[in-house]
Structure 1
Amino acid sequence: MFHTSLGLLRLTAILEGISYLVLLLIAMPLKYFLDFPFAVSLVGAVHGFLFIAYLLMLAIVKFSKRWSILWALWAVLLAFIPFGTFYLDKQLQTKK
């Protein structure tokens, strides 16, 4: 799975989705309910790195597989929706 550019895109999508959920469901409540802002700083930095990696992998796969710009925009949009990258992973399992 991880030996191709599509496999690496799927991996980064899953990792980015997990980091987004950790940021929203764990780090943000720690910051606002328990006054622990370091959680958002740490998880936010990791999530930012993974988001950039996701966008780079998406660009690589988009051009190598000659996907339409609408497909790439759809993949970017899904990154902003909680659980969206997991849905994208299901779609990518069937896309060649």
Structure 2
Amino acid sequence: MLKIFKVTAILEGISYLVLIANMLIIKSNNPELYHTIVRPFGMAHGVLFIGYIILAVLLKKPQNWDIKTFVIILIASLIPFGTFYVEKKYLSNNA
């Protein structure tokens, strides 16, 4: 399950960055493309975000994360590039 969490963390981070870029570039330049491009990325990001949180909760006990580590992992999902930090710092050594 840790491997799935690693992949989800990376994909969630990528989807977050793609979503932000699309919202900044496409919506401001071409509002018609908003519904065809940004919406599907938003849905994918939402599903990946929920999966990230659920997997983090499920892995808290097996990985022996203390409350500080667990909160950092959860907050990282809200910050751009945060999930990349989590994958590098907390998940790379546990492979």
TM-score, normalisation: structure 1: 0.85
Change (3 A) 1:28 1:42: farther
Superimposed CA distance per residue, residues 25-67 of structure 1 (whole angstroms, 9 cap, x where no aligned partner): 1244212221122122111111000000001111111122231
Aligned residue number for residue 27 of structure 2: 31
Q: Aligned partners of 1:83, 1:90: CA distance in 2, in Å?
A: 11
Superposition RMSD in Å: 1.6
For the Cα contact (< 8 Å) 1:55–1:76, is it kept in 2? Answer: yes
Aligned residue number for residue 83 of structure 1: 81
Q: Secondary structure at the match of 1:82?
A: coil
Q: Aligned partners of 2:9, 2:73: CA distance in 1, in Å?
A: 9
Percent identity, aligned pairs only?
37
Q: Secondary structure at the match of 1:60?
A: helix
Aligned residue pairs total 92
Q: Secondary structure at the match of 2:61?
A: helix
Q: Aligned partners of 2:14, 2:64: CA distance in 1, in Å?
A: 27
Aligned residue number for residue 54 of structure 2: 56
Q: Aligned partners of 1:95, 1:80: CA distance in 2, in Å?
A: 23
TM-score, normalisation: structure 2: 0.86
Q: Secondary structure at the match of 2:62?
A: helix
Q: Aligned partners of 1:71, 1:95: CA distance in 2, in Å?
A: 14
Matching residue's letter, 2:30? L
Q: Aligned partners of 1:41, 1:34: CA distance in 2, in Å?
A: 14
